[in-house]
Amino acid sequence: MNFTISDEHAELQQRTRTFIAEHVIPMEGDERCTAHGPTDGLRDELVAKARKAGLLSSHVSAEFGGLGLSHIGKAIVFEESGYSPLGPVAMNIFAPDEGNMHMMEEICTPAQKERWLRPLAAGLTRSCFCMTEPPPGSGSDPTMLQTIAVRDGTDFVINGVKWLITGANGASFAIIMAKLEDGRATMFLSDMNAPGIKVERTMNALDSCFVGGHGVVSFTNLRVPEENILGELGEGFKYAQVRLSPARLTHCMRWLGAARRAHDTALRYAAQRQAFGKTLGQHEGVGFMLADNEMDLHVTRLAILHCAWVLDQGHLGTRESSAAKVISSEAIWRVIDRSAQILGGQGMTHETIVARIFADARSFRVYDGPNETHRWSLAKHAIKSIRH
């Protein structure tokens, strides 16, 4: 691996950093930042700013209006975007749309790309990824999938319930994971205004950074024509990995930026706040916390860059992305928690951005697979390597 940032990436890094500082951070106090995420009106305004700056959907190919960044390139740009909770929204690289775009560009037919991917990449629409289900359905174990798709002539009729579906409220279309009558998982594309789809409610959650919040979505005799199958019948789990490994890593990239913002906020406070005759940062206890933050940020960045490098070599990177996800989610949580502690009483309020980041980031240890599931998977691979 070469850790040198190319001139092209360095320019893009600085351009993104300037864009976030000048155009996005000033919007963080906008009243359209709600408990269920930024409104679509605020999103549209932010997207227009990123479009003008040439920073929209940077991960997709030039054919669909993006910059076609490598995974290393994304690691650099996405970290900068995550410095503000609104940054990924503005640049159209937030979840679940970013991961959906990546998968669709890999798997969709030309007609599907024109119908769904192109407007999504242009920031004109939003999407959701309908996989997780309430008990007894699939959560961290996708084999427990309960949503059923039954063939009826040239259509499939889908019935089931999904929950924790990020961005469902206001999405234009959905990618739906369902199992066929023979038990094989398959992905389907459907407009969200199709008869048979209903967003039952938006769930109250700790985080407030995802547009559309997290919804409960029901499917009642939803008819999907066979031309809207995403990929091949029965290959849903395989395609999910095409999406999940890179999308898991881009979460790490964005949250690294958020953790860096929390650390910078605490660092400035520690350098100015006086207590017991000197600044907080001159007290050994606080100084050690700042040093631990620096190390956690460094280790997280290295784990991300390594996994990005593996993906850029054309590998699936399943183990590497699992390791990066666990390392990143736990390290950035320590950074954010320490930063809140350094800020003292102010860290418990929304006087700074840290409390907002704190609430947003806690779920990262759960979504895209709980950390325990990733540890279990890594352990199984380790044991298997000994046996062989």
| CATH code of the domain covering residue 322 | 1.20.140.10
Measure the CA–CA gap between 33 and 144, rounded to whole angstroms: 35
Residue 323 placed within a domain:
yes
Element (H, E) at 179: strand 173-179
Q: Are residues 28 and 92 in the same domain?
A: yes
Q: Are residues 300 and 365 in the same domain?
A: yes
| Residue 136 φ/ψ region, left for φ over 0, alpha for ψ in the -120 to 50 degree band, beta for the rest | alpha
Q: Taking the CB of residue 31, how many other CB atoms lie within 10 A of it? A: 7
Q: Which domain holds residue 12?
A: 7-121
| CATH code of the domain covering residue 151 | 2.40.110.10
Q: Are residues 340 and 265 in the same domain?
A: yes
Q: Are residues 247 and 372 in the same domain?
A: yes
Residue 109 placed within a domain:
yes
Instruction: State the greatest distance between any 2 C-alpha atoms of the chain, in Å, as a whole number.
Output: 80
**φ and ψ at residue 195, rounded to 5 degrees:** -60, 130
Measure the CA–CA gap between 323 and 18, rounded to whole angstroms: 31
Residue 2 placed within a domain:
no
| CATH code of the domain covering residue 101 | 1.10.540.10
For residue 188, the cross-strand partners are 176, 229
Q: Which of 91, 121, 151 corresponds to the end of one domain?
A: 121
Q: Are residues 242 and 221 in the same domain?
A: no
Helix, strand, coil abundance in the chain, percent, nearest 5: 55, 15, 30
pTM: 0.96
pLDDT (tens digit per residue) in 26-78 = 999 999 999 999 999 999 999 999 999 999 999 999 999 999 999 999 999 99
Q: Are residues 131 and 116 in the same domain?
A: no
Angle formed by the axes of helices 236-272 and 318-342, nearest 10°? 30
Q: Which of 193, 210, 234 corresponds to the end of one domain?
A: 234
Query: What type of residue is 167?
Result: G
Q: Are residues 252 and 383 in the same domain?
A: yes
CB-CB contact of 213 with 202 (8 Å)? yes
Q: Which of 195, 218, 234 corresponds to the end of one domain?
A: 234
pLDDT (tens digit per residue) in 323-357 = 999 999 999 999 999 999 999 999 999 999 999 99
Structural domain count of the chain: 3
Residue environment code for 110-133, b if the CB has 16+ CB neighbours within 10 A, otherwise e: eebbebbbbbbbbbebbbbbbbbb
Q: Are residues 134 and 163 in the same domain?
A: yes
Q: Are residues 201 and 117 in the same domain?
A: no
Q: Are residues 51 and 110 in the same domain?
A: yes
**φ and ψ at residue 254, rounded to 5 degrees:** -65, -40
Rg (Cα) of the chain, in Å, rounded? 21
CB-CB contact of 220 with 238 (8 Å)? no
Measure the CA–CA gap between 324 and 321, rounded to whole angstroms: 5
**φ and ψ at residue 153, rounded to 5 degrees:** 70, -125
Confidence of residue 3 (pLDDT cuts 50, 70, 90): confident
pLDDT (tens digit per residue) in 107-154 = 999 999 999 999 999 999 999 999 999 999 998 888 899 999 999 999
What lies within 8 Å, CB to CB, of 50 at 6+ separation is 19, 56, 90, 91, 92, 123
